Amino acid sequence: SAVISQKPSRDICQRGTSLTIQCQVDSQVTMMFWYRQQPGQSLTLIATANQGSEATYESGFVIDKFPISRPNLTFSTLTVSNMSPEDSSIYLCSVDLPTGGTYEQYFGPGTRLTVT
Amino acid sequence: AQKITQTQPGMFVQEKEAVTLDCTYDTSDPSYGLFWYKQPSSGEMIFLIYQGSYDQQNATEGRYSLNFQKARKSANLVISASQLGDSAMYFCAMRELDNYGQNFVFGPGTRLSVLP
């Protein structure tokens, strides 16, 4: 498994501001992923971040709203820009780790964001 | 179309009893992996168990076992000897391995409450 940390663990922000969430992994990984989990909902993939290339965004998510950086193989950031109350969610980063011929996905502890 | 279905939004079980959480999936890929995650109220996603589509035997991990019925496309999670700490949301997820880079698809989740 991997040890994944996220900062901040939670934050309360005012609408119109931006928040950058950091994700740190204790080993080098090719792919990192960012998910959003709105209150009472399941996880929705925002984007996939590979080191050295632009992030790949899922339908409904755009780079201007959720810019992502991936400067090296152990770190990534997700910025939630121009926030509104609808952005209140848990944001989770995850990584793929090869395990017995397949890949398993491990998650960070999440960042609980409340926008007022 | 929904790829992962969890028909039980909420379940109750008496402490020390066994409980089965349902999961059905839809895929045309012959290679896929099925995962179960636990999400306590703290928000972290905890990996529980994995079943590969070619695995001959049902996966087991301690008190967790996966009742894999490939022809019916079901991958139910069985928790034996429930504990109060098992109270959480449980998510079934699938990765279609022939489309690596297409990420996990999560089900809507089942909220399990263990009663003393």
Res. A95: pLDDT tops 60: yes
Averaged confidence pLDDT in chain B: 91
Q: Do B33 and A102 touch (CB under 8 A)?
A: yes
Evaluated on CA atoms A7, B37, B54, B61, the torsion sign reads: positive
Say if residues A36 and A44 touch (Cβ distance below 8 Å): yes
> How many contiguous H segments (helices) and E segments (strands) does chain A have?
0, 11
CA dist A36 and A54 (Å) reads 19
Res. B8: pLDDT tops 70: yes
Alpha carbon B45 to chain centroid distance?
12
Residues 6+ apart with CB under 8 A from A59: none
Select from B45, B50, B103 the Cβ nearest to the Cβ of A92: B45
Q: Do A92 and B109 touch (CB under 8 A)?
A: no
Q: In B, what residues contact A, Cβ < 8 A?
A: 33, 35, 37, 42-47, 50, 52, 91, 93, 95, 97, 100-101, 103-104, 106-109
Stretch (H or E) spanning B74: strand B74-79
Q: What is the pLDDT of residue B25?
A: 96
- CA nearest neighbour of B79 among B88, B41, A102, B9: B88
A9-18, A100-109, B94-103: which has the minimum mean pLDDT? B94-103
Bridge-partner residues for A37, per DSSP?
Answer: A90
What residues of A are in contact with residue B52 (Cβ under 8 Å)? 101-102
Query: Rounded mean pLDDT of A101-107?
Result: 78
Say if residues B70 and B53 touch (Cβ distance below 8 Å): yes
Q: What is the number of CB-based contacts under 8 A between chain A and chain B?
A: 57
CA dist A33 and A46 (Å) reads 8
What residues of B are in contact with residue A37 (Cβ under 8 Å)? 43
CA dist A44 and B103 (Å) reads 10
Query: Rounded mean pLDDT of B26-45?
Result: 91
Say if residues A62 and A7 touch (Cβ distance below 8 Å): no
What residues of B are in contact with residue A1 (Cβ under 8 Å)? 47
Res. B98: pLDDT tops 90: no
Q: Do A45 and B97 touch (CB under 8 A)?
A: no
Q: What is the pLDDT of residues A23-56, one digit of tens each?
A: 999 999 988 999 999 998 999 999 999 888 889 9
| pLDDT grade for A98, boundaries at 50, 70 and 90 | confident
Q: Do A43 and B97 touch (CB under 8 A)?
A: no
CB atoms within 10 A of CB B62: 10
Cα nearest neighbour of A94 on chain B: B45
Res. B102: pLDDT tops 60: no
**How buried is B111 (Cβ within 10 angstroms: 0-12 exposed, 13-18 middle, 19+ buried)?**
middle
Query: Rounded mean pLDDT of B103-114?
Result: 91
Q: How far is A101 from chain B (nearest CA, A)?
A: 10
Q: What is the pLDDT of residue A65?
A: 97
Q: What is the pLDDT of residue B29?
A: 86
Q: Do B43 and A103 touch (CB under 8 A)?
A: no
